[in-house]
């Protein structure tokens, strides 16, 4: 219980999201899909936007709905770990999504459209370019990385922990300036790490922002 409360105090992020009530099925499916394609995650239902435990009236129904979403709104279907937890009286649903070996998982939208999503900070974003290739490659090993690539990983992780901006601020240009290296050289390292699935990027050009995968 203390672990759950300390988790809530840390706030939403790459591996944690909460909702006061279960959102519409497509929105819930986006979060489950993005968690599975990135590093896994935990969805808490029954927690307000301010991180206060509110509880849900029918947690068993919430669990059943999440299982249905994971089976029918996502391809390939997702395995979920579901628990109903009592937190000082109110009951919440904890839905754990493991990082999936079957990735990439696609959200199945109306009309048959498929969309591969990843977790970027505390939001769900479509995977594109190097990020999409990284998701499909499903590689996470850091063996064979050069010194600069390892520095990039450490720097991006530190930025993710310290940034107060919801979308993050870790760009190639900012790294190049802080590490005193050429921007073109830095960009090659960022692109390779993204292709390997070790970084997740969103945005375009010099405005592209990176997060740890």
Judging by beta carbons within 10 Å of its beta carbon (0-12, 13-18, 19+), is residue 81 exposed, middle or buried? exposed
- Mark whether 169 and 89 lie in a shared domain: no
Rounded CA separation 55/63 (Å): 13
Domain range spanning residue 179? 128-212
Q: Are 93 and 45 in contact (CB under 8 A)?
A: yes
Q: Write the pLDDT tens digit of every residue in 72-81.
A: 999 999 999 9
pLDDT of the residue at 163: 66
Tell me, what CATH number does 55's domain have? Answer: 3.30.950.30
Tell me, what CATH number does 158's domain have? Answer: 1.10.10
- Mark whether 156 and 170 lie in a shared domain: yes
- Residue that terminates a domain, selected from 109, 125, 141: 125
- Mark whether 10 and 64 lie in a shared domain: yes
Q: Which residue has the tokens 């970084």?
A: 199
Rounded CA separation 47/43 (Å): 10
- Mark whether 89 and 150 lie in a shared domain: no
- Mark whether 93 and 137 lie in a shared domain: no
- Residue that terminates a domain, selected from 125, 141, 159: 125
- Mark whether 146 and 157 lie in a shared domain: yes
- Mark whether 161 and 113 lie in a shared domain: no
Q: Write the pLDDT tens digit of every residue in 82-109.
A: 999 988 889 999 999 988 878 889 999 7
Per-residue buried b or exposed e for 87-108, using 16+ beta carbons within 10 Å of the residue's own CB: beebbbbbbbbebbeebbbbbb
- Residue that terminates a domain, selected from 125, 143, 162: 125
Weakly modelled stretches of the chain, pLDDT under 70: 1-2, 134, 136-141, 163-167
- Mark whether 119 and 175 lie in a shared domain: no
* Tally of domains in the chain: 2
Answer whether 0.85 is exceeded by the pTM: no
Q: Are 189 and 144 in contact (CB under 8 A)?
A: no
């Amino acid at each position: 219980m203390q672990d759950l409360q300390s988790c809530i105090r840390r706030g939403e992020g790459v591996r944690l999201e909460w909702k006061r009530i279960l959102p519409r099925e497509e929105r819930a499916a986006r979060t489950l899909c993005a968690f599975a394609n990135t590093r896994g995650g935990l969805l808490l239902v029954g927690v307000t936007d301010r991180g206060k435990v509110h509880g849900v009236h029918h947690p068993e129904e919430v669990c059943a709905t999440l299982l249905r979403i994971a089976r029918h709104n996502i391809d390939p279907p997702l395995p979920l770990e579901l628990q109903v937890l009592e937190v000082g009286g109110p009951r919440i649903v904890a839905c754990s999504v493991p990082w999936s070996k079957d990735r990439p998982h696609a959200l199945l939208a109306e009309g048959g459209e498929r969309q591969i999503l990843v977790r970027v900070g505390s939001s769900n974003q479509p995977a594109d370019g190097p990020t999409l290739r990284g998701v499909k490659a499903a590689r996470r090993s850091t063996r064979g990385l050069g010194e600069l690539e390892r520095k990039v990983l450490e720097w991006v992780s530190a930025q993710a922990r310290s940034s107060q901006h919801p979308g993050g601020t870790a760009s190639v240009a900012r790294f190049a300036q802080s590490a005193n290296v050429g921007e073109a050289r830095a960009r090659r390292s960022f692109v390779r790490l993204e292709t390997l699935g070790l970084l997740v990027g969103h945005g375009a050009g010099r405005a592209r922002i990176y997060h740890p995968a």
